[in-house]
Structure formats: C-alpha cells, structure tokens
Structure 1
Amino acid sequence: MTPLLTAATATEPMGGLAGWAVGLMESLGGPGAALIVGLDNLFPPIPSELVLPLAGFSAGRGTFGLPEALAWTTAGSVAGALIVYWLGLLLGRERTRALLTKIPLVKASDFDRTEAWFAKHGAKAVFLGRMVPIFRSLISLPAGIERMPFWRFLALTTLGSLLWNTLFVGAGYLLGENWHLVDDYAGIFQYVVVAAVVVAIGLFVAVRLRDRRSSGSIQ
C-alpha cells in the first residue's frame, strides 16, 4: 500500500472510486489528476467533488505541488469540456432539434425557447455552469450546438473551472486527512441540485400531459 493510501485509511477506508483515483494520481502524478477530472465531464458519475479534494490531499502529501494540482485539474476540466463542445458542433442545431422533437412530450418550441434563452444568457450559463453539479457536464453541449465562439467558450470554461477547482483542491489541501469532509458537504449540495432537476422534470411532464389532455378534450 502506498504512503498516501496508508495515511488516508487512518481516517477512512480508501476503496472504490476514491481508491482508484488516489492510485492513479500516485502513479501518474498531475496528468492522472487531469485525466480523472476530465472524465467527470464525460461520465458525471465520476464526481469532481470527490476527485478535487483528493488532488489537494495528494498535493499536501507531496505527490505534486499545489500550483501543479490546480494547473492539471483545470487542464483536465477544460479538456473534458472541449470534447463535449465539439460533440455539440458535430451534432449541429438542425440535427439536435430534429432529435429532440422525437422525444415524447418534447416540442420543437421547447428547443426554440431554450435556444433563445442560451443566446441571451449563454456566457453566464457556461461560466456558472462549471460550478454546478450535473450542469457542469452538460453545459458545453448547447455551447457547441449554438456555435459559441471557440475562444470565448475556452476563456469562460477555463475561468469557471479554475475557480471551482481552487475551492475544492484548496480545501482538500488544507484539511489533509480530513479531505472527505469536503465531499460530504458537497454531496448535500449535489443532492439538492438533483432534487431540483427531478422536480423540474416532473413539473414539465405534468404540465405537458395536462396540455395534451386539454387539447384532446377540445377536439
């Protein structure tokens, strides 16, 4: 067992995703942290709220320096976001609109309203979205679909990611072997966001079904 894993198990067993993340960072150093954080953009079940404090903890143990941890985790965040952005570019507006209208209860007007909202608030959405669970992984897609200028997207994503990563990496660095406290409290925030998304989807479905019944009764 590595010294980092030995220290971590003094307070909490290191297994599963956390153990895998620490092992990768021990083996690859900063690039390992970048790889894990980048995967968070592609596979939301890999939460940055867990990985980032571990990167800070690793920095505190001397695996790499704190500036290096921030640089590599931010590079990973941006790289993952760019992959999703380019996927949006490949899909394009018309293809995405056509695909969405095939989803039950979704209308073309829903896409049009979302598109209009993004055109007005896209910069804030990309920047702030980097700091919100779930949306952090998704916000790059509409940016690509709507062809937000690449350098603007890159700047907003880098700045938002750097702020978010600094908060969590710094907390892990300062807390040391109690890094898991960051994940515990961040998990509460994530549950709140997930609950809000579920409620919003439920309301959307309820309203759309009500409208469908109303239009059916009129006919």
Structure 2
Amino acid sequence: MSVQMLTQYFTQYGAIFVFVIVLLEYMNLPGFPAGVIMPLAGIWAAKGAISFPMVMLISVAAGLLGSWILYFFGRLGGDAFFRFYVKKFPKQKGLIEKNMETLRKRGAVGVFLGKLVPMIRTLISIPAGMISMDFGRYTISSALGVLVWNTVFIGAGYFMGDAAFQVFA
C-alpha cells in the first residue's frame, strides 16, 4: 500500500482510521501495521490536521481496548487454548510455562516491559489474563507501556516528518 493511499484514508476517515488500525494491531489481528500508521499519524498531526495530544489519546485508547480484549480472552478461554496449543506443539509447553511463571513473578512490571518488545507487546495480554492478574494493575501497566510505545512511533512522525516513514516503513 502506498503512502498516497494511506494519506487518502487519513483524509477520508480521520481519527477513526487511526483508532481502528491501532486497535487491530493491539489485538494482534491482520491489518495495516501500526508501526507504519503511527508515524503517519504523527506527520498528520505535525501538518495540523489533528492535534498531537488527540492522536496520542486516540492511539492509547485503541491500544488499551485491544489489550483488554486479549486479556479477557486469556482470562475466559486461555486455559483451553493453552491445552489445545501444547497438544499440537508439545515441545513449547516448558517454554510457555516458564514465561507464565516469570509473568507471575514480575506482575505489572512484566506487562509494562512486555509492551515495549515487538511481538510480545501484543501477546502479553493473553497470559496476563490467564494468570488472573489484577485488572487494575494490568490496565495501568499496559496503558503506560502502550503510551511509551505509541509516543515513540507517533512522535517520530511528528518530529521527523516524512523521513520517519522511511525509517519505520
């Protein structure tokens, strides 16, 4: 997809486009990669089409909603999914159990740090739900991690302009 086409979507759908793409990203669903969309949203803010605080608020709200959905997926159906997964891939069981134990020990700090690591940042919500992490602590640590991650990408677009797209694309 070209930058011109993405720019057209921004123009046509505005903040809703940013929200939906970031939501899909944090739910680990296919869509436009937020690592491309977020710098473009920063460029869009730098050009005055939306305020920087507003685009940050929208992206963090979308990221947090996507994280909550996966948290509740883990809380309500994670054990059944885990049993199914390790039945298919038994060699993964030990590694997954070790990572779950690490998350139990590190708690909210583990979620925050996980939100800063590609691939893990979207999936950390499922095991957090599976271990029934306190929802309030999960929400705060998740929101802070999402804020840091999104600030880096949106801020790059805002401060570096079109050059940011070349870096993250």
Normalised-by-shorter TM-score class: 0.7 to 0.9
Q: How does 1:108-147 map to 2 (within 5 A)?
A: 109-147=94-132
Question: For the structure 1 residues 23 and 149, does the alpha-carbon distance in structure 2 shift closer, same or farther, using more than 3 Å as the test?
Answer: farther
Contact kept, 8 Å, 1:18 with 1:50, in 2: the verdict is: no
User: What is residue 69 of structure 1 aligned with on the other side?
Assistant: 55
For residues 37-59 of structure 1, give each alpha carbon's deviation from its aligned partner in whole angstroms, at most 9, with x where no partner exists. 11112326643221111110010
Which residue type is aligned with residue 25 of structure 2? D
Unaligned stretches of 5+ residues in structure 1: 1-15, 185-219
Instruction: Give the structure-2-normalised TM-score.
Output: 0.86
Contact kept, 8 Å, 2:78 with 2:126, in 1: the verdict is: no
How far apart, CA to CA, are the structure 1 residues paired with 2:151 and 2:71?
23
User: What is residue 179 of structure 1 aligned with on the other side?
Assistant: 164
**Could you tell me how far 1:130 is from its partner in structure 2?**
1.5
For residues 136-163 of structure 1, give each alpha carbon's deviation from its aligned partner in whole angstroms, at most 9, with x where no partner exists. 1211110111111111111111111111
**Could you tell me how far 1:104 is from its partner in structure 2?**
3.3
User: What is residue 3 of structure 1 aligned with on the other side?
Assistant: none
Question: For the structure 1 residues 23 and 78, does the alpha-carbon distance in structure 2 shift closer, same or farther, using more than 3 Å as the test?
Answer: farther
**Could you tell me how far 1:32 is from its partner in structure 2?**
2.0
Aligned residues: 168
Larger RCO, structure (CA 8 Å, separation 6 or more) = 2
User: What is residue 43 of structure 1 aligned with on the other side?
Assistant: 29
Which segment drifts farther, 51-60 or 172-181? Answer: 172-181
For residues 153-182 of structure 1, give each alpha carbon's deviation from its aligned partner in whole angstroms, at most 9, with x where no partner exists. 111111111111112111101112223133
| 1:148 pairs with 2:102 | no
Contact kept, 8 Å, 2:22 with 2:63, in 1: the verdict is: yes
Which residue type is aligned with residue 178 of structure 1? A
How far apart, CA to CA, are the structure 2 residues paired with 1:36 and 1:177?
20
1:105 maps to which of 76, 84, 90:
90
Instruction: Give the structure-1-normalised TM-score.
Output: 0.68
Higher-Rg member (1/2): 1
**Could you tell me how far 1:75 is from its partner in structure 2?**
0.9
Question: For the structure 1 residues 85 and 22, does the alpha-carbon distance in structure 2 shift closer, same or farther, using more than 3 Å as the test?
Answer: farther
The percent of aligned pairs where both chains have the same amino acid is 32
Question: For the structure 1 residues 29 and 117, does the alpha-carbon distance in structure 2 shift closer, same or farther, using more than 3 Å as the test?
Answer: same
Which residue type is aligned with residue 140 of structure 2? A
Unaligned stretches of 5+ residues in structure 2: none
How far apart, CA to CA, are the structure 1 residues paired with 2:137 and 2:96?
23
Question: For the structure 1 residues 82 and 176, does the alpha-carbon distance in structure 2 shift closer, same or farther, using more than 3 Å as the test?
Answer: same
User: What is residue 40 of structure 2 aligned with on the other side?
Assistant: 54
Question: For the structure 1 residues 63 and 177, does the alpha-carbon distance in structure 2 shift closer, same or farther, using more than 3 Å as the test?
Answer: same
| 1:79 pairs with 2:65 | yes
How far apart, CA to CA, are the structure 2 residues paired with 1:165 and 1:107?
31
